[in-house]
Structure 1
Amino acid sequence: MPEPTPADFDFLVIGECVADIVRTPGHPDRPHPGGSPANVAHGLARLGRRTALLTQLGTDPYGELIRTHLEAGGTTVLTDGRDVPTPSAIVTLDPSGSGSYRFAIDWTLAPTAAAPRARHVHLGSLASVQEPGAAVARRLLRGARAAGATVSYDPNVRPDLFGERSAAVAAVEHCVALSDLVKASDEDLAFLYPGVPVRDSAARWLTLGPGTVVVTRGGDGAFALTPEGETRTDAPPTTVVDTVGAGDSFMSALLAALDTPRPGLDALTAALRTAAAAAAVTVSRAGANPPTAAELAARRADLA
């Protein structure tokens, strides 16, 4: 994305880290570094982008696992300086590889938290709605936007943690209005706006301020709305091991593929295809394991 001012990073991601403890009946538990914002940061770094993650992370074993994982992939990990328990989630996989979640997460980002300069800032998931840290995250987002950064947002809804729906909707829409590009799943929109057709909800978001609204639909691909029109992509064929982190891989590859968060339809279509290919790589292996730049290029070549 174009650089309006000198920046320390290409991308700054704000949000939670989570230790995903993957549980499959008949198999030992498998801990994986996770958390939607952390996954997006990791995906961007693996695609060669200078990326920082502003988060909360403990010095407990799960925290060390996550920090080591992120830093090994090239992400610069920044915290608010407090030693808090690392959030965790039990991810139970069904026979198809789809996951259900049980969380132990608090988001209490300190009001004194400071963000480095970045060309683009991404906010995701619980960090945008769970107080008291959400208010700090939104303040940092407004500050980055005022300083010339572009902004993206993925609500990545977790119904068990989003609290009362009307309050969650208000917080999500606040972030949508601050963003240039928004991505959500069809399940996210169905939770936030029950009974409303997904495309209608996406079209309404477009009127709140963003230039691009992208909706992922699992095996049915994805579509995007802009003031210029609509475009879509199919989901590439793949063998599903599990779906953990697929949406986050999609998000990071989409951001990495775009030169601007308000692209023309041709550029957006190409970026959607790249993002769908990244998600296909991730679901073909265990855990939130996004592709490297070389792996993504190879997958795109296979699909050409």
Structure 2
Amino acid sequence: MLGFYHLIVGFILINLCLINNCFAANPLNLGAHIRTADPSGHVWQDGRMYIYTSHDQECQLDFWMKDWHVFSSIDLVNWTAHGAIFSVDELTWADNYAWAPDAAYKNGKYYLVFPAGTGHKDRVNPKNSTKWMGIGIAESNSPTGPFVDKIGAPLWRHPYANDPSLFIDDDGQAYLYFHAKDQDYNVIKMADDMRSTQGHFIKMDMGGHEPKMEGPWVFKRGQYYYYTMPENNRELAYYMATSPSGPWQYKGVFMAQEHKSNNHHSIVEYKGQWILFYHRWLATPESACKARKRQRHSAAEYLHFNADGTIKPVKRTLNGVDDFSNLSKNK
């Protein structure tokens, strides 16, 4: 009878643990009381994985967001929080909308490229909206900051733009991709000093497939460039090309939508494994914001490729990349 009692207690404890994600690596353990989204993954010279994220404040109003955070890890399970590395309070040209950032390393400096804005979006009467967003760039001598806005202005004011993705090609040329009003599927080159753009916006050839999108992310693997994005702001889809500006060939969706909510992601290779970082909208019972059923949390999955370079479908999991240390040792 005592053995049966222990069995029942053990079963209850295991289920309680599963409910509370005791064995899960997703979402990432970035801290007990911080909500993060839009994780941008990068591996720098020190061999650590860094993710740069936006920061959802508790019960924030309509994505009114104020700062950006960075976290680093060597095993993708245990993360060091480096805190807020930049804030809209440090800008003279914007005071709100600290949305999805990206980062790059060039010229011995680390660069944080970020969207920020002003005004208010009137969702009931859009004609009354005053919201504007632009893309800025800040510099630092360290991947964890402090970052400084050296130009004191956005890279441009028109078109309205956000969700920057900064890709540096093998020859050192930096390309800036973004989501913009009436100018999606554009790219612009960065000047060598990374403080201004070079030339005009380039409208890319997407092979005739240009759905609604946000949050582009571009990376290179072998001979191919990949333009990935949340298609219809929900499912993750991608194109392939042999040039960073196309022409691109659409390849389809590799991660389905969840809860009819937006997604935002990055893809990076680390110690021989390709990793997809993204955010999930999850029930957060401990949140003080009782009106909001789900909140955003950063997560990660392995990404695999077929022999022809196409991306295999990815499913969301509770375990995520919790066995990364074992896999990377076997490489």
> Above 0.5 in TM-score?
no
More helix by share: 1
Structure scoring higher RCO (CA < 8 A, sep ≥ 6) equals 1
Q: Which has the larger radius of gyration?
A: 2
More strand by share: 2
Q: Structure 1 length normalisation: TM-score?
A: 0.38
